Structure 1
Amino acid sequence: MMYKVTLIPGDGIGPEITDVVVDVFEHLKAPISWEVVEAGEKEIEKNGTPLPEKVIESIKKNKVALKGPITTPIGKGFRSVNVTLREELGLYANLRPVKSLPGINTRFENVDLVVVRENTEGLYKGIEYKIDEVATAIRVITKKASEKIGFFAFKYAKENNRKKVTAVHKANIQKLTDGLFLDCIREISKNFPEIEYEEKIVDNMSMQLVMNPEKYDVLVAPNLYGDILSDLAAGLIGGLGFAPGANIGENIAVFEAVHGSAPDIAKKGIANPIAILRSSIMLLDYLKLNELSRKLENAISEAVKDKEALTPDLKGKGNTETIKQKIIDHLS
């Protein structure tokens, strides 16, 4: 069976790193055909928006997309493309696996946890107003969204042989909003007695992650906390250059590298493609192409051991082409 997948190259280094995925999938003989659609800064000049309707239509049709980083212009009145995609497509769950790679030197060697972030509400609703010298933001937490993300986290844990779910909150201060979130997660946890459940206040959770990351498995959190913790956790494994991500809805999923578009190194041939490749592993798993995903995962794990092939941001002496070729060699 051939799967059609929407490919959004994005801005900056986006086209370079998504090209790597296309080449690697060809050598992997993955049954994927790509439908390329453009979004980002170039589309503002052409169509007056960074997110043309054709992008939404393509993803709705194909149900699966791989997205390069997209720049949101600052101070020009455009909403974040990422936030808009999540709302338009109902991508309520942001999934961020954080797993150490062999040969990458960090303080920790065996990090293997997953951040599950509610993706559609909280402060990211962007409801703000200002009266005189007072600016106010409204934080929205609903029972429906909290139950959905809670069920997603426990279901993910069960299906992936995870042992524990930790709910992250600030209910000691945000008693109504985070209180509602916690109530929902607690109720969901009762349906999964085989999975250990605990709760951590977000500031304590931040400290625990940088001291004892091995104690944690699946973290489930409201939007803002999940955003912060997933970047913090990425630092445990070497940074955002290794961090994959997925935005998942009822029947649509968009996979992406979570780092920025890095325009300062665009077209220099030194962009690090590891994060987008690890995101493509998640894409393969989502399509139940598990044998191919494990093959690619193993190839990446072997390739990054060669310091000569790594890109400069990883303190290597190579470039985008050398790390791509090293991965392809291991696939062979």
Structure 2
Amino acid sequence: MTTPDAISYTVPYVEGDGVGPQLINYARDIADKVMQKCYNGERTIEWQALLCGEKAAEVYQGDWFPEHTLNMIELRQCALIGPITAPIGYGFKSLNVALRHELGLTTSYTRYQTDNESDIYVIRDNSEDLPVKLEWQTDSFDGELLANFLKDELGVNKIPLAEKSVMALKYLSKARSEKLLSSAIELAKSRKIKNVIIIHHANSLPISEGSFVRWALASVSNNEDGQQHVTPPIHLDNIQVDVCSLLQFFSHQNHLKQDTIYVCANYLATIINEFFTGSLGLINKVSQTNFGNNIRIFEPKHGPLHALVGSDDITPIALLNAIISLLYHLDCDLAASTLAKAVFEVEKSLKDKAISFKQFQETLELSLCR
């Protein structure tokens, strides 16, 4: 029973394709149960179904991103998004990525929970660095122009450009480097995390990666004393690595025992995310939060997994992790931490066991009833 002061949050969602509808509807049901358990009807979520992708094109005369869907997400400033199939022949590598571009969501973070219940976040700007794919073949028209410009105008002669070769441009900006660290600090404050660490390889790339870390640190420094000032007390540090020392660093268990936010440029973040996903056994279990323009969308990192539709071999953990991040965003911290603890307990109890979706559901239900 609700009171006149009860709070209702309207959250848009897109079911997605493949296993998306089954998993997202289960995750929504779990979210409702956790909210009821924690707030006894004083706080509820009103789910608003939206269309995107192929399903939207069928209803909106070929429009993959209906204006109604984009407007509702912008109005509510958040959404839960299932995995969407990328149509063949329409120029989309990923509709989930295309949706982020439509909404101007350039920053993202991924949350990992370690074996000792520490929360590890990796935050990055998706609009810069090597993964934005500014690259050319030197035997193409544009590639030849760039190669000639490098040699004739900039005097770049120390690298011989072979007849068959390629070039890639690493791009980083002061504004986005500063914004990225600012977003990491805000995330640390909201999650009560005391450790924020910038990971970089300025030793190998002193101008690009070096500027990235200098710009970021300068943005929180006092011009008078040169010291970094971050409140509430957050330990801010930066660590210089190459790929080998990076993997060695994260393999040291002491670095996974404290809640920490790692800040890094886009390419390095890709390596770190892949390391955590593999080393923590989280394939198809990881979610991602994308944000910008005061909008946040929460989604699993796995695709539609069409081959598993109707199977009992799927796992809802990625979407449950997306729900946890959503609940934190809604300031429903009790519900978020309750669900996070329950999911952690289930994973721990069933670790190294081949379990079905039904077994997971039953075990999670028991955990939430305690």
TM-score range, shorter chain: 0.7 to 0.9
Answer whether contact 2:92 2:98 (CA < 8 A) is retained: no
The structural deviation recorded for 1:263 is 1.6
Answer whether contact 2:79 2:297 (CA < 8 A) is retained: yes
Q: 1:74 to 1:169 in 2, by over 3 A?
A: farther
User: For residue 178 of structure 1, what is the amino acid of its counterpart?
Assistant: E
The Cα RMSD (Å) is 2.7
Q: Quote the sequence identity (%).
A: 28
| Structure 2 portions without partners, runs of 5+ | 1-6, 37-42, 141-163, 221-227
User: For residue 53 of structure 2, what is the amino acid of its counterpart?
Assistant: G
Answer whether contact 2:17 2:82 (CA < 8 A) is retained: yes
Q: 1:159 to 1:288 in 2, by over 3 A?
A: closer
User: For residue 123 of structure 2, what is the amino acid of its counterpart?
Assistant: V
Is the partner of 1:175 in helix, strand or coil? coil
CA distance in 2 between counterparts of 1:43 and 1:272 reads 26
Answer whether contact 2:77 2:294 (CA < 8 A) is retained: yes
User: For residue 276 of structure 1, what is the amino acid of its counterpart?
Assistant: L
CA distance in 2 between counterparts of 1:194 and 1:201 reads 22
The structural deviation recorded for 1:215 is 6.6
Answer whether contact 2:105 2:293 (CA < 8 A) is retained: yes
After superposition, the C-alpha distances for 1:37-85 in whole angstroms (9 at most, x for unaligned) are 2323444566546444433222112111111122335665225333333
CA distance in 1 between counterparts of 2:51 and 2:271 reads 28
CA distance in 2 between counterparts of 1:83 and 1:249 reads 14
Q: 1:91 aligns with which of 82, 99, 105?
A: 105
Q: 1:15 aligns with which of 21, 25, 29?
A: 21
Q: Please say which structure displays the higher CA radius of gyration.
A: 2
CA distance in 1 between counterparts of 2:276 and 2:328 reads 22
Matched, 1:60 2:83: no
| Structure 1 portions without partners, runs of 5+ | 102-108
CA distance in 2 between counterparts of 1:19 and 1:215 reads 33
Matched, 1:285 2:328: yes
Count how many residue pairs are aligned between Structure 1 and Structure 2: 319
Structure 1 moving runs of 4+ over 6 Å: none
Q: 1:50 to 1:139 in 2, by over 3 A?
A: farther
CA distance in 2 between counterparts of 1:202 and 1:110 reads 28
After superposition, the C-alpha distances for 1:215-265 in whole angstroms (9 at most, x for unaligned) are 772210112221231231122322133323211224211111112222211
Q: 1:197 to 1:69 in 2, by over 3 A?
A: same
The structural deviation recorded for 1:32 is 0.9
Answer whether contact 2:108 2:288 (CA < 8 A) is retained: yes
Q: 1:187 to 1:288 in 2, by over 3 A?
A: same
Counterpart of 2:132 in structure 1 is: 125
Is the partner of 2:219 in helix, strand or coil? helix
Matched, 1:210 2:251: yes
Is the partner of 1:71 in helix, strand or coil? coil
Answer whether contact 1:166 1:200 (CA < 8 A) is retained: no
CA distance in 1 between counterparts of 2:284 and 2:22 reads 14
Answer whether contact 1:168 1:202 (CA < 8 A) is retained: no
Answer whether contact 1:41 1:50 (CA < 8 A) is retained: yes
CA distance in 2 between counterparts of 1:21 and 1:215 reads 28
CA distance in 2 between counterparts of 1:168 and 1:74 reads 37
The structural deviation recorded for 1:134 is 4.7
Q: 1:110 to 1:284 in 2, by over 3 A?
A: closer
The structural deviation recorded for 1:12 is 1.7
The structural deviation recorded for 1:181 is 1.1
Q: 1:215 to 1:278 in 2, by over 3 A?
A: closer
Is the partner of 1:2 in helix, strand or coil? strand
Counterpart of 1:265 in structure 2 is: 308
The structural deviation recorded for 1:279 is 1.4
Counterpart of 2:353 in structure 1 is: 315
CA distance in 1 between counterparts of 2:339 and 2:207 reads 45
Is the partner of 2:284 in helix, strand or coil? helix
The structural deviation recorded for 1:270 is 2.7
